Amino acid sequence: MSSKVRRRNRSTRARVAMIAVVALVFALLQGLSDPAPAHAGDVLPSGQLQAKLYNVTPYTLTAVGGWSEYGNATPATVPPGGAALYDVDGSDVLSGGTFCPDDWVNQLNGWVTWKADVLGGPPEYLTVSVHGTRSHSDWGCWQPKGQIYPAVDVWNTTTPPPAGWTYADGAPGPQTIDPQLTYTHNLPTVLDQTIGVTGDWTLDARTPLGHGLDEALDSICGEPSPNCSFTQTEPFKWSLGTPSVAGEALNCAATGNPDSLSLDYTSTQSASLTVGGSVSADTETTLFGVIGAKIAIKLEAQHQWTETNSFTRTSKVDVPPQNTGLIWIAPSIGAVTGTLKLTSGPATFTLTNFSQTRSGVARDDATPAYNALTEIRPSTAAETKAFCSAPTGTKASGKAGVGKAAKVVPGKGVGKQMLGLPRDAKLLGQPLVKSPRSNRSAVANDCRVLDPQCAMVAGRGGTWVYDDLAVIFGADHRVSALIYSGPGRTAQGVGVGSTLRAVRRAYSGIVCRSNPGATNCTLRGKDSSHRPVQTVFHFSGTKGHLMSDKVMIYRVDSRLGR
């Protein structure tokens, strides 16, 4: 099908009738809101023609270049749903002088070109060519009375125009066969051009589709009311992920029976799509929800397909004296494949073999989201020196006290200082300083000074201060928050002194925000009582050299709504 249509503006009456018809078409095509008011295209007193290009496609129309016999021709890149001016210089404007004061005329010969990386096809180049006479005559000095407009051609080709091309040469390149992009002249006003999409397109999501797919997903599925739907076409495929060490515990006793030691570790769900390596986070979230709402899976597991969370778990392992116990976890991995349908105005895109793979989701009641494996081996000399500094006969575990061997457990605590423990020195250790009995808010604990988004339960039960830890108590006299600045690490190996990049790499679901003078990264979760908790890594330093200097773990005040 030829993509060239050459329409000339012949009379005022014909032009008005055409505008009335295409205005209705424009309203139907307008799938995305127009960011700017309509612009009446015309020649300025300088002789330059200005008009607008309206983009009602899911693609960015990238400015390529232009040419004019009388100077310059300049297009502007137009985002999906946007509009931008294009300029074509014309000849000097000749006026009617004393006898015809309101008459004027000039000549135009130039073009501007845009490129669209369309979905499932080669790039399409749109060239708007403007040529001929523009005149206005009330007296008939230059032309017959009335308005004369230049001719406007729109070409859709697979290459941009070559150097030196003019409208008299014919098509500026090989014309696109079955183009996706359409155009409408004089819409919404004279000399403006409106670019849309049309047709039904079916593509295999496993094939290389180019840049157009990510852009189309962002434009269509990233909207508040996305025009995309998913249909499952194949049974679930399940596999076991690669095991990784989640944590370790040492039994420092010289002799005796094995001890049952508890290990806390964090498991983070993750998800990926067949395609869309450059789609926005909002689009990914929307697509996960669209897919999760349509898959044939148990209701409990369905929530695991629509959310990406970090969970803190506890496992037990029996460790003989002078041995180390390790917990390995291997996530259950599920993959669902189906058809994703996108709708943009009169065009539809059907993506077959579109799949989502999710790590850490329960297959059924008998298959956990994570499989815990244990390993027992003799402790190395380095491990014994690092973790068994206490007198012989004691044990070191994931709940070691605050100090060199302390372990930071997101959502739970640091060493033996855990959320929910009572305000008891026998359990927590003797503090260096005890604050006033009641803090009216968490501000006294530096919470909102460190993080303006802090949602910590108010420390009404006071604060106990240790060498590198502040333990804050709620009104129930139980630990409600911890602010830690010591050398302890999480099971993922991060803590105070870690870089922003290392923390982000350790926790894929973490949310980071920057404020003047500081950056905070937050992990959200729930404790054993299903109360919301947050773990916040606070960073300081200069941009590009941010280091964590504090870790906050606290129960969330539900009234703050975070």
pLDDT by 10-residue block (mean), the chain, 562 residues: 35 31 33 38 87 90 96 93 92 85 90 91 94 86 80 96 94 94 85 89 73 71 76 84 72 76 60 64 71 57 49 70 81 84 84 82 69 82 67 36 68 89 84 57 52 80 83 88 89 89 89 80 85 90 79 84 52
C-alpha span between 165 and 308 (Å, rounded): 54
Which residues lie closer than 8 Å to 141 by C-beta, 6 or more apart? 96, 99, 100, 103
Q: Indicate the helix (H) or strand (E) that contains 184.
A: strand 181-185
Rg (CA), the chain: 33
- Can you give the pLDDT at residue 224? 66
Q: Using the 8-state DSSP alphabet, how is residue 509 labeled? A: T
SS (H, E, C) 402-443: CCCCCEEECCCEECCEECCCECCHHHHCCCCEECCCCCCCHH
Single-letter residue type at 482: L
C-alpha span between 474 and 485 (Å, rounded): 21
- Encode burial over 375-386: b for 16+ CB neighbours within 10 A, e otherwise: eeeebeeebbee
Which residues lie closer than 8 Å to 430 by C-beta, 6 or more apart? none
C-alpha span between 479 and 464 (Å, rounded): 10
- Can you give the pLDDT at residue 107? 94
Q: Are 524 and 268 in contact (CB under 8 A)?
A: no
For strands 151-157 and 146-148, give the pairing.
unpaired
Outline where 1-94 has alpha helix (H): 12-29
Q: Which two tokens stand for residue 400?
A: 């070691």
Q: Are 429 and 543 in contact (CB under 8 A)?
A: no
Which residues lie closer than 8 Å to 451 by C-beta, 6 or more apart? 515, 518, 520, 536, 538, 552
Could you tell me which residues are beta bridge partners of residue 357? Answer: 272, 335
Q: Are 339 and 350 in contact (CB under 8 A)?
A: yes
In degrees rounded to 5, what are phi and psi of residue 292?
-60, -30
Q: Are 480 and 554 in contact (CB under 8 A)?
A: yes
Could you tell me which residues are beta bridge partners of residue 230? Answer: 340
Q: Are 143 and 125 in contact (CB under 8 A)?
A: no
C-alpha span between 477 and 113 (Å, rounded): 70
- Can you give the pLDDT at residue 432? 74
Give which of 512, 256, 201 is closest to 393, Cα–Cα. Answer: 256
Cβ burial of 465 (10 Å; 0-12, 13-18, 19+) is middle
- Can you give the pLDDT at residue 439? 38
C-alpha span between 345 and 56 (Å, rounded): 8
Give which of 356, 364, 358 is closest to 267, Cα–Cα. Answer: 358
- Can you give the pLDDT at residue 273? 74
pTM for the structure as a whole: 0.50
Q: Are 265 and 326 in contact (CB under 8 A)?
A: no
Single-letter residue type at 155: W
Give which of 285, 380, 273 is closest to 326, Cα–Cα. Answer: 380
DSSP string, 301-357: HHHHHH---EEEEEEEEEE-TTEEEEEEEEEEEEEEEEEEEEEETTEEEEEEEEEEE
* Cα dist from 375 to 246, 318, 326, 388, whole Å: 11, 10, 5, 19
Could you tell me which residues are beta bridge partners of residue 115? Answer: 62, 125
